[in-house]
Every structure is written in structure tokens, then in C-alpha cells.
Amino acid sequence: MRVLITGSGGFVGSHLTQKLLDEGYEVIAGSTVLTEKKSKSNLKKVYLNVNDKDSIEEVLRKYNPEGIINLAAQSSVAKSWEIPEETLLVNVLGTLNIINSMCKNTPYAKFINIGSSEEYGLTAKNGEYLTEIMPCLPQNPYATSKLSAGQLALQSAKKHGLNILHVRAFNHFGPGQRLGFVVSDFASQIVNIEKGKSPSVINVGDLSAQRDFLYIKDLVNAYTLLLESKKLDLGIVNVCSGVPRKIEDILKYMITQSKREITVNLDSTKLRPSDVPFFVGSNGKIKETVEWESTVEFNDGLELTIEWWRQN
Ligand code: GDD
């Protein structure tokens, strides 16, 4: 199967590219930044900017992908308060541009749009396991953009008879995730302290929040299985562990992995205008749809991530 990944140079994109290559797929790796590395026979690195319609047309016409996974996004909740316009431009209009081009050039392709648990917003406050049929009450520009993109994608599927599914990915982490996401922020600071590059203080934001995390390996495995599934009209599918974790507990465990004494400082600049206190998803639908289970113990994932920061 020939699969186009948009945003292939990002954290999830690069792990997914490698996973699909390992599984024998032909990957068209779309990115706004083209590296020097030469393409291999089963990997084509192409320029693709979801806000540049010509670049999408060119890639779809030339490579005729049978699957498309849209990972091109402004993915930071915190940043979406600073750059709401860009967040909407990339996440909403970018998605629409791909679907419009797909409708014209590759209407047979399977399109997986990657959304977010953030779409549920305040509905999550009830503390219930979020299922795909629950209402969404997004609380920040990022969440609004992902909800809009998902709705547009599913409307287009209905209108044009396209095979589109919208994934609501909950939090994820692992080697290669950039700064600005909680596990990377903690791991990088811990390693800088270990290396003597900074004083023994770790700056943190809201530690009371609870989130549902998957290690990157389990996340890209879920995306691959959904890509392979022959089931149609799946609509929205949560990808999550089903286990809520308090950010404070994650921090405590990560600090135990360091040989240094570390003190914690609440950095008010890391607090957000509104932070949903609790997110936990139901993974019943994905488990009914494909044979997926999370396989990496959460603390093992944290240790692998800290180790990656030590080596990089
Ligand atoms: N980033 C960050 N850095 N977050 C912190 C910190 C810190 O130092 N300290 C506490 N937090 C809290 C945040 O306030 C938030 O409640 C929680 O940790 C998780 O923050 P992020 O890792 O930035 O993730 P997010 O939940 O806002 O968004 C991520 O998950 C979404 C799925 O739920 C992103 O990966 C999104 O792209 C994704 O859709």
C-alpha cells in the first residue's frame, strides 16, 4: 500500500514513517522542510505544505496514494493561544485543502485525519470515560481547530462518498518529541540538571491536571491498524490508554530516575488561560474495530524518553 503522510517530519510523523517502512509500505513523506537525505525506493520525500494547494495537487497526481494520514498541524495547545490564526489556517483549512484535492485526484484513497481529545473540552470535566458520541465543548483555539477539521472531514466523506475517519488522539510522548509538551519538558530539564547545564530546579506548569497518555509506539501501531482496517464509515475513533495520570505523579516518577536532588518550581508563565483538569478516554471502539492493545508500560516509556534526552 502506498501511503502519504503529511507532517512526516514531526514527532508522530517520523515514528509513523519508520513503522510503515518496517511493515513494507511505500511511504510518501510530505513535509514543508525537505532534508538533504536521498529518498529510498520505498520512501519518497516530497515537499508538501497543506496551505499550498498546488503542492498537494502535485503530490497526489504524481504518487496516487491509496492511504493518506494527515499529521500536518500546529499541535501545541499552549501555542494556539499565541497564534490562533495560524492554528486555524493549518489545522482547519489545511485539512480541507487535502480533502478537496483528494476528492478530485484520489477519491478511492483512505483518509485518516488526526484530531485530539482536546475536542471534548469541558465534557471531560465530568470525569467520565470519553466516548466518541459525547458532545464536544472545546476550550482553546487548538481544540476548536481540531473539532472543526474533523467535522469538515466527516461532512466531506458523506457528501462525496469518501473513506474518511477522524481519530481523536489523546496525549502521547516518547523519544523525539520536541519541547513544549509535558514529558519532553520534564525530561529535558532533568537531563540538563544531570549534565550540570542548569541549576537543580525544574520549572513546571499545572501539576494537578490529569491526562490519558500513550507511548508513541502504541500510538503509531494504532494508526497503522486503522489504516489497514477494511471497515467503512467508522466516523470518529479515540486512540487512548483509558488510564488517567496526574501530571504531578509523572513528574515525581521522572525525578526518581535522576541521580541528582531536584526541587520543583511552579512557573506561572507555564499556566494556561484555561486548562481542562481531567481527560480520560474510552478505547472500546478502537478495540472493537482492530486488534489493538497498548503494550508499553507507562513508566518504561518515561524511562525510554529520559534516556533519549540523555543521548541527544
Ligand atoms: N507542556 C507542558 N509543560 N505542560 C505542562 C507543564 C510543562 O512544563 N507542566 C504542567 N503541564 C500540564 C499542562 O498544563 C497540561 O495540563 C498537561 O500538563 C499536558 O500538557 P501538554 O503536554 O502540553 O499536552 P496537552 O494536553 O496540552 O496537548 C497534547 O495532547 C493533546 C491530546 O490530548 C498535545 O500533544 C496535543 O497535540 C494533543 O492533541
Q: Judge whether 42 and 36 are in contact, CB under 8 Å.
A: no
Q: Say how many Å lie between the CA of residue 206 and the centre of ligand 1.
A: 9
pLDDT tens column, 86-113: 999 999 999 999 999 999 999 999 999 9
Pairing of strands 110-116, 163-169: parallel
pLDDT band at residue 73 using 50, 70 and 90 as cut-offs: very high
Instruction: Give dist(CA 225, CA 292) in Å, integer.
Output: 7
> Using a 6 Å cutoff on CB, does residue 206 contact ligand 1?
yes
> Using a 6 Å cutoff on CB, does residue 55 contact ligand 1?
no
Pairing of strands 244-246, 210-215: antiparallel
ipTM of predicted assembly, 2 dp: 0.98
Average pLDDT, the chain: 96
Instruction: Give dist(CA 237, CA 289) in Å, integer.
Output: 9
Query: Could you identify the atom of ligand 1 that is nearest to the CA of residue 247?
Result: 18
pLDDT tens column, 226-237: 999 999 999 999
Phi and psi dihedrals of 44, rounded to 5? -110, 120
Report pLDDT for 205.
96
Q: Judge whether 156 and 98 are in contact, CB under 8 Å.
A: no
> Using a 6 Å cutoff on CB, does residue 182 contact ligand 1?
yes
Lowest mean pLDDT among 4-8, 180-184, 212-216, 269-273: 269-273
Paired with 110 in beta bridges are 67, 163
Q: Residue range 122-140: average pLDDT?
A: 94
Rg of the chain over CA atoms, in angstroms?
Answer: 19
Kindly report the CA angle at 93 between 89 and 99, in degrees rounded to 5?
155
Pocket test for ligand 1, best of 122, 178, 181, 215 (most atoms within 8 A of CB): 181
Q: Residue range 258-280: average pLDDT?
A: 91
H-helix or E-strand spanning residue 302: helix 298-311
Cell numbers found for residue 37: 537525505
> Using a 6 Å cutoff on CB, does residue 211 contact ligand 1?
yes
